[in-house]
Amino acid sequence: MPPRAQSDQFPVEPSSEAGMDEAKRSFLRMVSHELRTPLNSVIGFSEIINRELHGPISDPRYKAHAGIIRDSGLKLLKLVNQVLEIARLDAGTAELDLQPESATAAVRSAVRSLEEEAAARGVQVRQVAPDVVPLVMADARGLASILINLLQNAITFSPEGGEVTVRIRLARNAVLFEVRDQGDGVAPQELHRLVRPFEQGENALVRRSQGAGLGLSIVSLLCREMGGSLALRSSPGRGLTARVRLPSVGASECSEGAALETRRTAA
């Protein structure tokens, strides 16, 4: 296993060089909106065919084909929504409602939403949190998006039968969300490229992804909009650790269970 590089952690801030100008943002917003309407029709009608709502289909292959069309449409719709979200965040026009939110509840919800995906790969998701966790100042939807994107990334790049750890840590006036996988890892000098919109670094982490590589870009921009930050740490053969720092508020919540409670989501 290669030795860990001396400097393998990079605080990640959205780069001005990676920002899109207003013309590009307007174009992306227009294209995204124009694509969503036909995609919703494709998904909806393929679902009707797949479920045979208007009567049985004589040849079962047509039903299977409709299922493929639906799944492909859902993937495209997800990409369109990601592009639209990046355009809004990059332009500073995203409507975020910052309120005190439960960090532990947000983590549990994100893990639950990805149970099937983790089980399909035989990946265990371990949750670790202290007894008492301050509430975090965040947009509820934005916080969910951050955690789901980080967990999806970790599950995707973990080996089958591997483990992903999502840990809550406490810092001064902040709550840290740390997601760690057991994947192949990334060379430290490549880490900054992983958060650039529409750019894929030449490494195994990015090449294995079926998406457009926008998840970490969205996480980075959301952190910025919520007064937080994203830091990545990795080296070849040592997996990837993503740490999100968000401001905490005075009130605290009690997590359920012992000081380092562990929950597992397994196949």
**Segment 98-124, tens digit of pLDDT:** 999 999 999 999 999 999 999 998 999
The Cα 201–Cα 172 span in angstroms is 34
Q: At what angle do helices 215-225 and 60-91 cross, to 10 degrees?
A: 40
pLDDT band at 203, cuts 50/70/90?
A: very low
User: Which one is predicted more confidently, 232 or 32?
Assistant: 232
Name the 3-class secondary structure at 131: coil
**Percentage of residues in the chain having pLDDT higher than 70:** 76
**Percentage of residues in the chain having pLDDT higher than 90:** 36
Give the pLDDT mean for 81-95.
78
Is there a contact between 242 and 150 (Cβ–Cβ < 8 Å)? yes
Is there a contact between 230 and 84 (Cβ–Cβ < 8 Å)? no
User: Which one is predicted more confidently, 231 or 17?
Assistant: 231
**Locate tokens 């929950």: which residue?**
263
Q: At what angle do helices 103-113 and 140-157 cross, to 10 degrees?
A: 50
Q: Domain 9-16+98-265: which topology?
A: Heat Shock Protein 90 (3.30.565)
| pTM of the shown model | 0.72
Give the pLDDT mean for 193-216.
60
Among 234, 198, 164, 246, which residue's Cα sits nearest to residue 86? 198
Q: Domain segments of the chain: what residues?
A: 9-16+98-265, 18-91
Please give the pLDDT value at position 1. Answer: 44
| Joined tokens for residue 48 | 């009707």
